[in-house]
Amino acid sequence: MGEVGGFLKIEKHTFQYSDPAQRVGHVKEFIERNPTEVVSQQGARCMECGVPFCHNGCPLGNLIPDWNDLVYRNRWDDAVRQLHSTNNFPEFTGRLCPAPCEASCVMEINEGEAITIKQIELAISDHAVNAELPIEAPEHETGHSVAVVGAGPAGLAAAQQLRRMGHAVVLFERDEAPGGLMRFGVPDFKIEKQVIETRVAQITGEGVELRCGVDVGVDITVEELRDEFDAVILTTGSRVPRDLPVPGRELEGVHYAMDFLYERNRRVAREFGPAPQGTTPADTGITAAGKKVVVIGGGDTGADCVANSLREGAVSVVQLELLPEPPANRPDDRTPWPLWPAKYRKSYAKEELDALDLGEQDFSVVTTAFKGEGGKVTKLKVSKAGDAPPFAPVEGSEFEIEADLVLLAMGFLHPEQELLDDLGVEKDARGNVKSVAPYTSSVDGVFAAGDCRRGQSLIVWAISEGRRAAKMADKYLGTREKDIADALTAH
């Protein structure tokens, strides 16, 4: 374990984000690292609790106290091995995970005192990448082939695991480059795309065949897919956005957040690199430059829209949330420790908005109509919302907000349905792939992982599910092998 009584002697130091007023001037990553000695000392604060609740908080089951201790003892290579034994991509989670592990850390019983797990994970992953990621080729080939459909974090994790088990893996991706929402949703200032490229180079170096620009179900039919591969893993994400069908929705200037974010990420890639190898679709022309922007939706997607708008040169940005403002501290009656606290967290984008004094974030606001001139949006008609479902407009509280770009960031409903229907997989009540056994669809040999199975979630869950679905597919292929051997013996 770390240093005896470390948590009593050593002050908490986590990483900081760079100055919000400065960082809006560029698209470089904004996490600022502490020196290695400081991170080692932070590892010493972990007391390797008898019951490490952080294990439970982390969907990957990361062995957190073990690598905290290794970092404290400056055994960085061992920490790298330990971390990769449960997490294929710590450089993704170290940058992007909201860190449920920290919320469930025993130190967090005193709110704000958690071990700086995310910082330590990022430092270990920096060490791994600087030392060059090793190519872990399989020891033998099984002769089985698996198609993984969708190269987001779930698909990348599933593909890497299956390849290391010795299967021939083809990873199909509709977009021009891999990464899923991490590449085309999440902005560079949260994760520079070179980070994804470096990991993908390892995965393909290990023998995964990556085919980008292939829309499965269109460019390759479901029948061809089933003929060519012994098993299929669906990792297509949850991509159908929630709409706001109010009067004026059809006006020019009202867009889904993802259309804006895709466009913006492609532009940044073209301008600052690394540019994807495949053919990038033509510009759609959605831009926040010089616009009065209103973002509807107070979550991560909304925050990324706000921050991108500021960097593009919007003249004002307002972010609206339907739900009431959460309490400032952990509400012990609703989400006591070690649960994820339902409390207000000031987003990085709100910090930027405050620093530039270009707009505001407002809670309990419901949009009832868009108004426009000449077919273009000019205003939102809004009201204060009631504080319980269905969050209906409060009479007499109407007001208007000027806007010439409105971004709808109100979450996602479910995966696109066509491919699921073509394959004939059963769906759950929300339209996600239904599991009849863990990560196993109702169709023989078809598995599912990530957002397309659990609904829009987190990268850490996507990686975890990708790993588990790979295990189930491997088991299935092993059983098939045994069945064939048994059948041959019977003859």
**Where on the chain is the footprint of ligand FAD (CB under 6 A)?**
96-97, 149-155, 172-175, 180-182, 185-186, 190, 215-217, 235-237, 261, 300-301, 304, 419, 450-451, 456-460, 462
DSSP H or E segment with residue 257: helix 257-272
Distance CA(246)–CA(462), nearest Å, equals 33
| CB-nearer residue toward ligand FAD: 110 or 284 | 284
| CB-nearer residue toward ligand FAD: 53 or 189 | 189
**DSSP output for 101-143:** HHHTSGGGGSTT----HHHHHHHHHHHHHHT-PPP---SS--S
| CB-nearer residue toward ligand FAD: 186 or 314 | 186
CB of 306 to ligand FAD, least distance (A): 11
32, two tokens: 């600022």
CB of 278 to ligand FAD, least distance (A): 12
213, two tokens: 């620009």
| CB-nearer residue toward ligand FAD: 230 or 304 | 304
| CB-nearer residue toward ligand FAD: 3 or 215 | 215
| CB-nearer residue toward ligand FAD: 278 or 386 | 278
Asked if residues 380 and 403 have their Cβ atoms less than 8 Å apart, the reply is yes
CB of 153 to ligand FAD, least distance (A): 5
| CB-nearer residue toward ligand FAD: 70 or 473 | 473
CB of 265 to ligand FAD, least distance (A): 10
DSSP H or E segment with residue 254: strand 254-256
Specify the 3-state DSSP secondary structure of 98. coil
Rounded to a whole number, what is the largest CA-CA distance in the chain? Answer: 81
CB of 349 to ligand FAD, least distance (A): 11
With a CB cutoff of 8 Å and minimum separation 6, the contacts of 119 are 14, 15, 34, 39, 42
User: Which residue, 162, 160, 97, is CA-closest to 125?
Assistant: 97
Q: What is the sign of the dihedral through the CA atoms of 340, 344, 350 and 354? A: negative
Residue 350 phi, psi dihedral angles, 5° rounding: -65, -35
Residue 460 phi, psi dihedral angles, 5° rounding: -60, -35
User: Which residue, 149, 153, 150, 141, is CA-closest to 207?
Assistant: 141
| CB-nearer residue toward ligand FAD: 123 or 182 | 182
| CB-nearer residue toward ligand FAD: 215 or 354 | 215
Strand partners, 254: 406
Specify the 3-state DSSP secondary structure of 461. helix
CB of 61 to ligand FAD, least distance (A): 16
Asked if residues 343 and 330 have their Cβ atoms less than 8 Å apart, the reply is yes
β strands within 286-411, DSSP E: 292-296, 316-320, 359-362, 365-373, 376-384, 399-402, 405-408
CB of 294 to ligand FAD, least distance (A): 17
CB of 280 to ligand FAD, least distance (A): 14
Distance CA(5)–CA(364), nearest Å, equals 45
| CB-nearer residue toward ligand FAD: 207 or 217 | 217
CB of 252 to ligand FAD, least distance (A): 23
| CB-nearer residue toward ligand FAD: 43 or 153 | 153
CB of 462 to ligand FAD, least distance (A): 3
Specify the 3-state DSSP secondary structure of 369. strand
Distance CA(410)–CA(407), nearest Å, equals 9
Alpha helices in 345-491 (DSSP H): 348-356, 418-423, 451-454, 459-490
Asked if residues 403 and 293 have their Cβ atoms less than 8 Å apart, the reply is yes
| CB-nearer residue toward ligand FAD: 237 or 248 | 237
CB of 112 to ligand FAD, least distance (A): 21
CB of 49 to ligand FAD, least distance (A): 25
